[in-house]
Each structure stands twice: as structure tokens, then as C-alpha cells.
A and B are shown apart, each in its own frame.
Chain A
């Protein structure tokens, strides 16, 4: 069961690397939130009410609903519905993502013996998710897609921490969630400011500060 869910999670990453529509990115982010909840549920060995409620809130509340809605509001205000002209064509980025995901599977098979108390498949998927997200951030040009890439990466890290079957203290979990939430919030606000000040949403426009340029 958990392996199927981890595979589905990997597939959402492929779907994200093949599309350029913001709406589909956000849909996939929501699906990832749901999948993370299901994976957490599938991995759960003993029921701990506090931990369950907290993680359910984190996955279903924050990752599935609040963050995508927040990003959608920014997208609507800035009227950026697509990230056109990425650095490399979509087809190649899909191929690259597939190769990374496949390497993740191979890696997990090789490391099976070394992974104690860890689900190898979700571990491999999580690692490849992190790498695909970094790749995604590098090739996309809009600042908002950078934020989406960051959230994808955080989802990958969450999956990684789920695959290692060790519980963090609740205070740490709360801190992590708070940090993620505030980081996305601040990045969102900065995206708004950037589109207002630079009249452009491309990362390339952020070139005011450079060593060779007399910045101020």
C-alpha cells in the first residue's frame, strides 16, 4: 500500500515537470498533500492522538489546502497563469525528471540492506523528489514557480522524514511546520513586491545587484 502511494507521489513529480500551467502545479501540490497524509496513515504503527491530529493538520490542512490557496491568490493578483519559456523544453525536463526518479528507484534497491527501519521505495522517491525540485527551480523562470519548487522540495523532505520511521518530538514538528508556513508566506509577499517593483515576474529581472555593476 505505502509503496503504491509513494509511486503515485513520484508520478505527481513527473506531471509537474511536464506542464507549465500554474493551476496544474497547484492541483499537484494539493494531491501531494493528500498523498503525504495517506502515506503517513499507511506507515502509522501505533495510534498517537496528538501526533495524528498534528500531522493530519499539517498534510491535509496546510499542505493540501492553505498553501495552494495562498499561492493561487498571488497568481491571480499577478495574473501569471503560465510559466512559459523555461530554460529547456518541457519534453527534456520530463525526460530528466524520469531519469532522476528512475535513479531514485535504483538507489533504493541498492541501499535496501543498509536502510534500517526505513522504507526503501519511499526513501528513493523522496530523494529523487528533492533533486527534481532543485532541477525544477533551476529551469523555470518565474519567481512564483521558484516558490512552488521550494514547496515541492519541502514535500519531498516530509516524505523522506516519513520513510524513516522515527518520530520527532512534537515541539520540533511544530517548529518545522511554522517555519515552512512563514517561509512560504514571506516568499509569497516578496513575489508580490517583485512583480510590482520590477514590472516583471522573471528571475532574470533580478539583476540589479551584481559585483560588476555599480549597485548603489
Chain B
């Protein structure tokens, strides 16, 4: 017995696991890794839940973003809402209609611009097109509509009151 052990390589003597148990060890290690991956997935879902709770508590400021007559028919004005980092685009497609959307494309956050000729919002990066009626996707890689800034006309002023992430009824 002793002579058999002495023929084993040195690393085998120093390794604490018997050869017969090795198959269990590799399976246990893999199972542990998979369980930790599962924990990471749960942490991701929980993080989304926390972000959702935080966002639910946010109240949007009521802010004047433009004077109604300063924008010509077919013209645009850029503004920031609700925060200074949130670039938005205000359009006047016809005499009495004003609409505003987040300028960030929902695909990869490039800035969209208004194409008066095609009457749509266009993203120059990957040719994603959005409707000016409700911000929905007309064509291209984006799958989500542009967040809409809800406006109110108060006399000569256009006032932003909140941001609507998806069109009503969707």
C-alpha cells in the first residue's frame, strides 16, 4: 500500500481530494457558479424594482418651455425637461398644434431631428423614424416610442407638465 502511494506524483499527495471524488467537486463548483449567476439575475430584477419605486416618487416640474408665437409653423425649438440633461424637441407641425418629445432615440440615445419634408422625427445614426403624432416607431431598429412631453398652452406660453413614457392605451 505504501509503495503504491509512493508511486503517485507529488501534486496528487498534496491535493486534498481523492480521485474518485473529483467528478463531484467539478459538479459542485459548477452548481455553485450557476446559483451565483441566478443570484445576479435576481439582483438585476430587484434593481429594476428599486429604480421603478424611485421613479414613481418623482414629481415633474411645471415649466414654461417656449412662447407659442416664437416657433414658426414647421419649426422646432430645443429645450431641457425635466432635468438639465434631458434634451427635448418641441415641434409646431401646424398652426395650432404643438408637440414635444424627448430628443433621445430609444435605440441608442442619438439625438433625433425633425424632418419637415417627411413630417417625422428621424434618428441619423441608424435611420430610426418616429411619428410626430404620438412618437411611435415608424421604421428602424428602435422598439419603443419616444417619451412625450405633455404640454399645456397657458395664454401665449407653452408649459411642460410631465413626461409620458408610452402613448395612451399601449
Indicate whether A and B interact. no
